[in-house]
């Protein structure tokens, strides 16, 4: 049997045409990086050979994995985890800025929080604004922002404000996967990231399955990192539209995976009711008020793709994203 040298930590970054952000992230992370005990793995989705080889030459101590297809975040993260040697794993977006001291402090905090399986630090953007990195599981009426806002007033302990500048450790339903620390043991127990999701909500699903196994998620204010947001999801108009589409599709996938019977039907109805009429109305208003053609085109694309998605889902009883389905069939 091949002996695998174990390390303390593996940092896994899934990259998709975010080389500029990745460069900034590595520049911040690499000073004083203890390669004798930690490693960095970069999984490049739909790899661009020139830039991939350029970065591989520039950072010879980092493991780069070229993925010829864009299999989505979960697929890339699992690919990196399969190669990882660390007893602990950090999944990190390429548009996150963090240094080694932050990582050390986060690991020390998790050691103190012995009952926590998934831990994320407080995140701010480049202007110092607190970012949303946790919330309640999407279900029934909390799909509506107004209802969720009211519940945050009535039951703040169960519905914490995800934009709050937290002062103590909190234990929400789910935490964001943009910078997530988890042990290898717990990651394997949960069975990794679900590849039923192509983009978005895979972190919510991970936390849901962890909760089912009595494993807790937490957010700590003792470490603060910078998340620039939109490294790949906002790189072009087409990618922006596709990202917004996948947000909605992923809500349907989550409902299918974690609801049953009448609750599932109600969840699906609410998701459709919340999104399709609003998209159609917004697209019409763009034309009537002579607003941006770009906005009309974006909303029109999302609306038409959603209609096609729902028709195919109802017909086949398969609610996965077409891109997740294509990825699964390509590998089967």
The pTM assigned to this predicted structure is: 0.92
Asked if pLDDT for residue 80 goes beyond 80, the answer is yes
Rounded distance, CA 106 to CA 223, Å? 6
219 vs 69: which has the higher pLDDT: 219
The model's confidence at residue 103, banded by pLDDT at 50, 70 and 90, is: very high
Q: Can you point out the beta strands (E) in 73-215?
A: 86-92, 96-97, 116-124, 134-135, 174-175, 179-183
Asked if pLDDT for residue 141 goes beyond 60, the answer is yes
84 token code pair: 């990882």
Burial (CB count <10 Å: 0-12, 13-18, 19+), residue 310 = middle
Residue that is written with structure tokens 């297809």 in the block: 69
Q: Are 163 and 152 in contact (CB under 8 A)?
A: no
DSSP code per residue over 57-89 = HH-TTSEEEEESS---HHHHHHHHHHH--EEEE
> Percentage of the chain surpassing pLDDT 90?
69
Residue 1's pLDDT is 40
97 vs 279: which has the higher pLDDT: 97
Parse the chain into domains and list their residue ranges: 7-227, 237-331
pLDDT in tens, 186-234: 999 999 999 999 999 999 999 999 999 999 999 999 999 999 976 555 5
Cβ neighbour number for residue 135 with a 10 Å cutoff: 18
According to DSSP, the β-strands at 96-97 and 86-92 are unpaired
Q: Residue 137 gets which letter from DSSP?
A: P
CATH number, domain 7-227, options 3.20.20.80, 3.40.718.10, 3.90.1570.10, 3.90.550.10: 3.90.550.10
4 vs 80: which has the higher pLDDT: 80
According to DSSP, the β-strands at 38-45 and 63-67 are parallel
Residue 38's pLDDT is 98
According to DSSP, the β-strands at 7-15 and 86-92 are parallel
């Amino acid at each position: 049997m091949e002996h695998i040298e174990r390390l303390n930590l593996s940092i896994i970054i899934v990259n998709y045409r975010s080389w500029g952000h990745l460069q900034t992230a590595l520049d911040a992370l690499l000073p004083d990086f203890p390669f004798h005990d930690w490693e960095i793995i970069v999984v490049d989705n739909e790899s661009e050979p020139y830039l991939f080889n350029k970065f591989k030459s520039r950072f010879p101590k980092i493991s780069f994995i070229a993925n010829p297809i864009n299999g989505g975040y979960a697929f890339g993260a699992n690919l990196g985890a399969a190669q990882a040697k660390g007893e602990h794993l950090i999944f990190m977006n390429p548009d996150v800025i963090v240094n080694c001291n932050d990582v050390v402090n986060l690991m020390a905090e998790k050691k103190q929080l012995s009952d926590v399986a998934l831990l994320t630090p407080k995140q701010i953007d480049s202007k110092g604004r607190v970012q949303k990195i946790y919330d309640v599981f999407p279900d029934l009426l909390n799909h509506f922002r107004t209802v969720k806002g009211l519940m945050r007033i009535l039951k703040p302990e169960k519905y914490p404000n995800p934009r709050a500048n937290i002062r103590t450790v909190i234990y929400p339903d789910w935490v964001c996967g943009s910078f997530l620390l988890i042990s290898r043991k717990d990651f394997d127990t949960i069975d990794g990231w679900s590849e039923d999701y192509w983009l978005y909500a895979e972190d919510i699903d991970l936390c849901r399955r962890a909760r089912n196994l009595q494993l807790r998620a937490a957010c700590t204010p003792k470490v603060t990192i910078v998340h620039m947001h939109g490294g790949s999801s906002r790189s072009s108009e087409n990618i922006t539209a596709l990202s917004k589409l996948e947000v909605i599709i992923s809500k349907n996938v989550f409902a299918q995976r974690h609801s049953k019977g009448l609750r599932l039907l109600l969840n699906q109805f609410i998701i459709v009711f919340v999104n399709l009429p609003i998209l159609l109305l917004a697209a019409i208003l763009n034309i009537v008020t002579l607003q941006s053609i770009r906005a009309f085109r974006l909303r029109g694309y999302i609306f038409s793709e959603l209609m096609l998605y729902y028709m195919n889902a109802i017909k086949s009883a398969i609610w996965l994203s077409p891109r997740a389905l294509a990825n699964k069939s390509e590998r089967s």
